[in-house]
Amino acid sequence: MHSSAAFNEEVLKRYEEWMVVQHYTARTKQTYWRKATQFIDYLKDKSLASVTHLDVRTYIAHLSEQGASMSNAYDHLLVLRRFYDFLNLGGLVEYVAPRLVRMRDAPRKIPRVLSEHEVRRFLAAAFTLREKALVEFLYGTGCRVSEVVSLRVENIDFDSRTALVSGKGRRGRIVLVTERALHALRNYIADRKKGYVFQPDAPVQKATLSKCTGHWIGTWKDYRGPGRRYVSTTRYLGSSRLVTYAEAKIKLENLTRGVNLVRPKTDGPLSTNAIRILLNRIGDRTGLRHVSPHVFRHTFATHLLDHGADLADVQALLGHAFIQTTTIYAHVSRKRLVKMFERCHPGGLGDGQISRTAPRQVLQEKQFEDGLG
């Protein structure tokens, strides 16, 4: 077990332990581990301790040749810098080789933003109390989806119109909540005094009947014992050419007679994936597809800028550690850009004949200059 490959595997194991000590989130740990593993696989029998900046540069070029985008290759370089910071800290390397490799900054994608009219359409299409509370809270606070998932009833102060959320990196922060969002939350929470705000629906489960490649298929979950333990079962119910839908349904009912189909209620929160599914359902009703929780975060920030908010104030409301992270919204806020142009340029926009085309042209030119186009 003295080979370089075995040494590399041991180092990676120690790095996993270090990430636990550093309290990295599960998603960050998974991303760092996956990219570090890819690099180790590329090295084969070469030791991590003998890697030079030339090896790192060759690896980045290899990723690009394999079809990696500039943004993805840049992410790999950032992870390797963190990884080798750890090796340098432990005395395994004398210098951090990846930090001697320079790349152009990856182009920053302009986030999607809903117009105020589209937000009103989305809110109007939210039918249930939970849907209304979810959309109003996302748009009214600009919270990350992880902050929404972890939000608890006891951490909402209706009097001061604030909420304590668990932010990025598990840092707690206070967010301001709009009156509309608070009203929707009151209606949804009802008389609950504690627990997660956004919870799964009532524990209802039923057997499903579907047709696949010309056959009727029955599927159900038999919940046994406490917690989430269950036995999932799938049964063939006959050919759809020989068995009618009604006959297949009767067969399924007979098979599930006496089966516990009720999912036990838990105190856990609504999952991130469940929130995305809810937003997709609302979006389908309005024709606004692929509206993710982060789209509402972008929309929150952009609309604040459109109505005159200062960039530093938006930074505080979003919980960004660095103002550079917030500056992307200055590029997104087209309305703010047009207002500034009309206010500051001596010639203004004249009689308005070019007012429809100028905003788009100005924005595109600025994006090109900043490397965003």
* 89-100 confidence digits (pLDDT tens): 999 999 999 999
Q: Hey, what are 288's tokens?
A: 């606004």
Residue 64 has pLDDT above 70, yes or no: yes
Beta carbons of 97 and 51 less than 8 angstroms apart: yes
* 308 phi/psi in degrees, rounded to 5: 100, 5
Higher-scoring residue by pLDDT: 1, 233: 233
**Using 50, 70 and 90 to split pLDDT, how confident is the model at 363?**
very low
pLDDT of residue 147: 92
- 360 has a pLDDT exceeding 60: no
Q: How confident is the model at residue 309 (pLDDT cuts 50, 70, 90)?
A: confident
In terms of Cβ atoms closer than 10 Å to its own Cβ (0-12, 13-18, 19+), residue 81 is middle
267 versus 117: the higher-pLDDT residue is 117
Residue 61 lies in a domain: yes
152 or 326, higher pLDDT: 152
- 288 and 317 belong to one structural domain: yes
What domain count does the chain have?
A: 4
Q: Are residues 8 and 73 in the same domain?
A: yes
- Residue 27 is assigned to a structural domain of this protein: yes
Please provide the average confidence, as pLDDT, over all residues in the chain. 84
194/283 same-domain check: yes
Query: Quick check: is 105 in a domain?
Result: no
Higher pLDDT, 232 or 84: 84
- If asked whether residues 63 and 190 sit together in one domain, one would say no
In terms of DSSP H, where are the helices of the chain?
Answer: 4-21, 26-43, 53-65, 70-89, 116-124, 129-141, 145-150, 179-189, 245-255, 272-286, 293-306, 311-318, 323-326, 328-332, 334-344, 358-369
Q: Rounded to whole angstroms, how far apart are CA atoms 29 and 151?
A: 23
What is the torsional sign of CA 48, 53, 58, 62?
positive
78 shares its domain with 158: no
Q: Are 349 and 342 in contact (CB under 8 A)?
A: yes
Q: Is the predicted pLDDT of residue 327 greater than 80, yes or no?
A: no
Instruction: Read off the pLDDT of each residue in 141-152 and give the average, rounded to a whole number.
Output: 92
Q: What is the pLDDT of residue 133?
A: 96
Residue 1: pLDDT band (50, 70, 90) is very low
Residues 28 and 169 in one domain: no
pLDDT(365) > 70: no
> Does one domain contain both 15 and 93?
yes
**336, 366 in Cβ contact below 8 A?**
no
Tokens for 250, please give them. Answer: 């009767």
Q: Are both 176 and 289 inside the same structural domain?
A: yes
Instruction: State mean pLDDT over 161-178.
Output: 85
The reply to whether 282 and 192 lie within a common domain is yes
Give domain status of residue 266, yes or no. no
| Domain membership of residue 232 as a residue range | 208-255
For residues 196-221, average pLDDT: 82
Phi, psi of 157 (to 5 degrees): -105, 100
Weakest-pLDDT range from 15-19, 78-82, 267-271, 321-325: 321-325
147, 9: one domain = no
Mean pLDDT, rounded, for 211-227: 79
Q: Which two tokens stand for residue 149?
A: 């998932």
Residues of the chain with pLDDT > 90, as a percent, come to 48
User: Per-residue pLDDT for 15 more than 60?
Assistant: yes
pLDDT for the residue 289: 86
* 280 and 151 part of one domain: yes
Residue 137 · residue 181 · CB < 8 Å: yes
Report the C-alpha gap between 262 and 220 in whole angstroms: 11
197 close to 152: Cβ distance less than 8 angstroms: yes
pLDDT at res. 167: 67
Please report whether residue 263 resides in a domain. Answer: no
Is 126:345 a contact under the CB 8 Å cutoff? no
Tell whether 111 is covered by a domain. no
For residue range 275-297, list pLDDT tens digits in order.
999 999 999 998 888 899 999 99
CA 199 from centroid of its chain's CA atoms: 18
| Closest by Cα among 106, 150, 166, 121 to 291 | 121
What is the pLDDT averaged over residues 262-273? Answer: 78
Are 182 and 277 within one domain? yes
pLDDT at 337: 67
Helix (H, G, I), strand (E, B) or coil at 108: coil
Q: Do 31 and 112 form a contact (C-beta atoms < 8 A)?
A: no
pLDDT at 226 exceeding the cut of 90: no
- How many CB atoms within 10 Å of residue 107? 15
CA distances from 99 to 24, 60, 74, 79, 340 (A): 21, 13, 12, 11, 40
Whole-number pLDDT of residue 163: 94
What CATH number does residue 69 fall under? 1.10.150
Residue 109 falls inside a structural domain: no
pLDDT of residue 275: 93
Question: What mean pLDDT do residues 145-158 have?
Answer: 93
Residue 361 has pLDDT above 50, yes or no: no
Confidence category of residue 201, pLDDT binned at 50, 70, 90 = confident
Residue 144 has pLDDT above 80, yes or no: yes
